[in-house]
Structures are given as C-alpha cells and as structure tokens.
C-alpha cells in the first residue's frame, strides 16, 4: 500500500473513531515513513477535521472522544 493510501486510511479511521483498523494502517506504513511524518500527515488531519466538525455543531462530544481514543491508540 502506498503512503498516500495509508495516510487516507488513518485519516478516515481517526475521523470515525475506528480503533479496529487504525493499527493496521499504521503497521502498513511504519517501515516507510518516520514517526513524525505519520503523526503529522496521517493522524493529525483526522483529529483536526473532527475538531472543525465539532466547532460547527456537526458532531458532538462522543464523536470527539472516539476520534481522540483512536488517535491515542496510534501513539
């Protein structure tokens, strides 16, 4: 799997709070990218996106917590 596809998979997993598939996405890319790049390119955009949705009232606290738990799972 290419980097961009793995990053997109991480973004989607954080966005929807998918802790089951998130570690799989990280494992697919861990040998081909440094950790800072994985955090900044694959994980942070998903958390930022869910934060923006929270600010506009499109999602609520439970969705924010699910995204945060998924992010934490990757750390």
Q: What is the pLDDT of residues 27-52, one digit of tens each?
A: 889 888 899 999 999 999 999 999 99
> What tens digit of pLDDT does each residue of 59-72 get?
999 999 999 999 99
Distances from the Cα of 11 to the Cα of 15, 37, 73, angstroms: 6, 13, 13
CATH of the domain at 63: 1.10.1240.10
* Structural domain total, the chain: 1
Whole-number Å distance between alpha carbons of 29 and 56: 32
* Whole-structure pTM value: 0.86
Q: In terms of residue numbers, what domain contains 41?
A: 3-74
């Amino acid at each position: 799997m290419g980097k961009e596809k793995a990053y997109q998979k991480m973004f989607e997993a954080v966005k929807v709070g998918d802790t089951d598939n998130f570690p799989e996405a990280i494992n697919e890319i861990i040998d081909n990218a440094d950790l800072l790049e994985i955090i900044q390119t694959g994980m942070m955009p998903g958390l930022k996106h869910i934060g923006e949705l929270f600010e506009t009232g499109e999602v609520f606290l439970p969705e924010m917590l699910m995204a945060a738990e998924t992010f934490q799972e990757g750390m």
